[in-house]
Amino acid sequence: MALLEVRQLKVHFSGRGGWFSPKTRPVKAVDGIRFEIEEGQTYGLVGESGSGKTTAGRAIIGLLPITDGSVIFQGKDLAASSRKGTIRFNRDIQMVFQDPYSSLNPKKRLLDIVAEPLRNFDRLSAREEKRRVQELLEQVGLSPDAIYKYPHEFSGGQRQRIGIARAIALKPKLIIADEPVSALDLSVQAQVLNFMKDIQKELNLSYLLISHDLGIIRHMCDKIGIMYKGRYVEQGTADELFGNPQHIYTKRLLSAIPLLDPARRDERLRYREAVRQQYERDYARYFDAEGLAYPLKPVSGTHEAALPEKG
C-alpha cells in the first residue's frame, strides 16, 4: 500500500464577485488529480505558475480546504475531516517552504523555531527539548551551539536547512517541499538537494517535491506528474517522462530546458520551434473547448497521459 494516495483531489475557490459584479464561476485550481507516493520515494509535481501544483501541496497538508476527493495517508482519509471544516494537521506530514528568508520568524531564536512542532505535538521538558533541537541542528549540519542565534545570522542555504530541521523534528513520514531551492544560488542549491537526498535515506522519508525546474525534478524524483490548469497532462516515472513524453504540453516543457552545449544551439532552436509549431497546431486536439486537459489514459504500466479521444 502506498504511503499517500491522492484520489480525484479537487480544490476550488468560490468566485465571489466584487461589489458590482455578480458571483462568478469558481476557480478550479486543482481539478481532479490522482497520484500515489510510496515510502522512501520522491514524487515530483511539475507545472508553470497557475498550474495548481502549490495549491495541491497546500491542500494535502491541510493549509487549504479540500473541495472534493480523498487524501489517504497511511490508510486514513485526511480529506474527510477537511470537508467538515475542522483543521487537520498530521505530525507525519511536514512542509518545507520556498523562501528561507520569510519562512523563519526573524524574532525567534533557532531553539524556538525548531522546537515549535515539538511544542505542538510532544510534551518535552525544557532540557529534553533543548537536547532534541541540538540533535536536529547537528543532523542538518549546523553547530548545536547555534540554538540561541537568530535566522539573520545564517546564509540562505543554512536557513533552508533550519527549515528542514524544523520539518523533520517530529520524524515525519512525508515532507512536502514547495520549490525548496528556487531562492538559492546554484552552489547552495546543490548542497541542499544533496542534503535532502541524504536525509531521505537516513530517515526513510518520502517527498512530494513541487518545482518548475525540470533539471531538479529529474535529479530528485522517482515519479513525476505534470500539471496544467489544475489537471494532469501526464504522469509516469522520470525515465518515462523524460525519455518518452506523450503529451504535446510535456514535449513543449521539455524542449524549453536549456542545453549546456553551445555547439548544438541552432539544432536546439530548430527543434524547439518545431515543437512550438506542433503545439499550436495540435492544441485544439490535445485540450478541450475550455483549454483543459482530457482524462489520463494508460500508456504503459506506470505511464499515463491525457491524450485526445482518438489517436
Partner 1 sequence: MQNGLLTIEHLTASFHISDRYYAAVDDVSLTVRPNEILAVVGESGSGKSALALSVMGLHTRARIEGSIRFEGQELTRLPAPKLNRLRGREMGMIFQDPMSALNPLMVIGDQIEEALVLHRSGMSKRERKAKVVELLAKVGIAEPEHAARRYPHELSGGMRQRVVIAIAVANEPKLLIADEPTTALDATIQLQILELIRKLKRDSGAGVILITHDVGIVAEMADRVAVMYAGQIVEIADIHTLLTAPGHPYTRSLLRSIPSADHPKSKLYVIQGVVPSLDRLPRQGCRFRSRIPWIGEGAHEDEPAMHEIAPGHFVRCTCYRHFYFPDEEGTRHGAS
Binding footprint of partner 1 on the chain (CB under 8 A): 48-49, 155-157, 185-191, 193-194, 197, 212-216, 218-220, 238, 242, 252-254, 256-263, 265, 268, 272
Closest to 35 (Cα-Cα) out of 27, 43, 25: 43
Contacts of 277 (CB under 8 A, 6+ apart): none
Q: How far apart are CA 117 and CA 101, in angstroms?
A: 19
Q: How far apart are CA 168 and CA 152, in angstroms?
A: 21
Instruction: Write down the least CB distance from residue 283 to partner 1, Å.
Output: 13
Secondary structure (3-state) at 233: strand
Instruction: Write down the least CB distance from residue 219 to partner 1, Å.
Output: 4
Instruction: Write down the least CB distance from residue 149 to partner 1, Å.
Output: 15
Q: State the number of CA atoms in the 13 A half-sphere of 202 facing the CB.
A: 11
Residue with cell 479537487: 10
* CA 135 remoteness from chain centre: 27
Answer for the pair 196, 207: CB distance below 8 angstroms, yes or no: yes
Secondary structure (3-state) at 19: coil
Closest to 55 (Cα-Cα) out of 227, 183, 180: 227
Instruction: Write down the least CB distance from residue 225 to partner 1, Å.
Output: 17
Instruction: Write down the least CB distance from residue 272 to partner 1, Å.
Output: 7
Round the CA-based radius of gyration of the chain to a whole number and report it: 21
Amino acid making up residue 244: N
Instruction: Write down the least CB distance from residue 254 to partner 1, Å.
Output: 8
